[in-house]
Structure 1
Amino acid sequence: MFYGAKAQAVEDVSFSVGTGRVVALLGANGAGKTSIMKAIAGLIPATGTVRFDGTDLDDLPTRGRVRRGIVYVPEGREIVGNMTVRENLVLGGYHLGGRDRKSRAAMVLDLFPEIANKADRSAWRLSGGEQQMLAIGRGLMAGPRLLLLDEPSLGLAPMLVRRVFDRLAAIRKETNLSIVLVEQNLAVTMRICDELHFLRGGMLVGHRSAEELKDSASRQQAIDTFLGAAV
């Protein structure tokens, strides 16, 4: 996986995500996490193969992957600040019919009551945590089967991080949604993930199940072994 002509961002990365499972990618800045997410979403070319439901997606553009059920929520939220909360949600369901968009918007606002009573307010007026909820909600509008979440805790206070991850846990419990989660914070990631892959220098350097990291000693060992002082 390359940026430009020569800069290789990721090398020899392979992992799978089961239905209804949450798989986390952990590593320091520059480890290649976002490059992997963008390649899965079709935003940058990949030298390998991305398979979804047994089908190669190599020649399928981003819009086609969204229609298949692969939705990317990027780092930094990238909501449209001068549009209302409701209008941002409509953007997320652009390919749906009017009735489906309306029902999915109602579902999202029910899931995130913090933004429900601000649905007709400009998105830039939301707090950081509310903007993150809107970004995730906009991704859910597309009816994803695989949700790619890039650093959802970035820049949020611990209380807001808990709220966001509590909502993600609820989504996971109520649906068969699969999630690939990019994070730097192991403690946050452990709230919802099933498996963790550790990256360093654009390569996978380790794998653990959430079950293997239940106690603090094993988590610290994983940090020391795979991430060093980066986390």
Structure 2
Amino acid sequence: MTSLLSVKNLSVFYGASAQAVENVSFEVSPGKVTALLGANGAGKSSIMKAVGGLIPARGEIIFDGAPISHFPVRERVRRGIVYVPERREIVGELSVRENLVLGGYQISAAERRNRIALVLDLFPEIASKVDRGAWRLSGGEQQMLAIGRGLMSGPRLLLLDEPSLGLAPLLVRRVFERLGAIRSAGELAIVLVEQNLRMTMRLCDELHFLRSGRIVGHKRADELKDETARQQAVDAYLGATESEPRLETA
């Protein structure tokens, strides 16, 4: 299968010498979910931001057969790459509907209306609050709004950064249920950064393990079906230390 996204020898630096990502390479196929797993500081978010065009990087980023490393964020969004950041970053002063409109700023008004209807159908928890201030939503509802806003432009690749961050277990399950529905609905590809390995396993096809800015291992989801295999992968590839907390496997 031809890759939708191909990342080759990606490196990210902060400042003159601080290297966050070193020569990372991976591919994402259309309609597939690829997870980037690792402890805090492993470089996961830096990779996502580099693919989304939010930070400079070295190496090649090829999307749908074309190099895009020199493209600004706006052009990457136009081509179908959307980044949903950790901690949501919704605009609390605006209503739920207005946040969704922001996500669809590049499409026509008629298409925006259709997309809003689709998002609210996917996330009924926010449908009844569509004209309320976004700051009034719960943490789980804000995460649903952030994902919905990301879907407004009709992306082909959704970059999801820590969607379960700060959420209670029940809300995590709800968010991942909706992500599963999104995945089943079409050819949308997802790159997912997560700490919750068990929930990630329910959604993803491929897993890349990162440590200290490098990919140190790769597994298919079907290779990690049982608890023992999952824990062995975490121990082998991530080697949790006091400064690098173990991934949540429960």
Task: Name the TM-score, length of structure 1 as normaliser.
Answer: 0.99
Q: Which residue is equivalent to 1:203?
A: 214
Show structure 2 runs of 5+ residues with no match: 1-11, 241-245
How far apart in 2 are the matches of 1:75 and 1:128?
12
Whole-Å Cα distance in 2 between the matches of residues 163 and 27 of structure 1? 23
Aligned to 2:164: 153
**What residue number does 1:124 align with?**
135
Partner secondary structure for residue 239 of structure 2: helix
Aligned to 1:93: 104
Which residue number corresponds to residue 58 of structure 1? 69
- Measure the CA separation in 2 of the matches of 1:136 and 1:120: 18
Question: Cα deviation per residue 1:41-84 (whole Å; 9 max; x = unaligned)?
Answer: 01111110100011000111000000000000000100000100
Output aligned runs, 1:59-208, within 5 Å. Answer: 59-208=70-219
Residue 53 of structure 2 aligns with an amino acid whose one-letter code is G
- When the two chains are superposed, the root-mean-square deviation of aligned CA atoms in Å is 0.6
Task: Tell me the residue number matched to 2:60.
Answer: 49
In the alignment, the residues of structure 1 paired with residue 17 and residue 74 of structure 2 have an alpha-carbon distance, to the nearest angstrom, of 27
Which residue type is aligned with residue 72 of structure 1? Y
Q: Which runs of 4+ in 1 moved over 4 A?
A: none
Give the drift of 1:225. 0.7
Identity of paired residues, percent? Answer: 71
The 2-side partners of 1:6 and 1:124 are apart by: 38
State the 1:140 CA deviation: 0.2
Alpha-carbon offset, residue 142 of structure 1: 1.0
Q: The residue matched to 1:176 in structure 2 has which SS?
A: coil
**1:175 shift after superposition:** 1.1
Q: Which structure features the higher share of helix residues?
A: 1
Q: Secondary structure at the match of 1:107?
A: helix
Which amino acid in structure 1 is aligned with residue 126 of structure 2? I
Q: Which has the higher strand share?
A: 2
Any gaps of 5 or more consecutive residues in structure 1? none
SS at match of 1:14: strand
Residue type at the aligned position of 2:123: F
Residue 34, structure 1, aligned to residue 14, structure 2: no
Q: 1:171 is aligned with what amino acid?
A: I
Per-residue Cα deviation, 1:146-202 (whole angstroms, up to 9, x for no partner):
000000000000100000000000011011100000011211211100000000000
Q: How much does 1:228 deviate? A: 2.4
The residue matched to 1:142 in structure 2 has which SS?
A: coil
Amino acid at match of 1:52: F
Give secondary structure in 2 for the equivalent of 1:48: strand
Deviation string for 1:58-116 (max 9, x for gaps)? Answer: 11100000000000000010000010000000000001110000000000000000000
Using the TM superposition, give the Cα deviation of residue 126 of structure 1 relative to its aligned residue in structure 2, in angstroms.
0.3
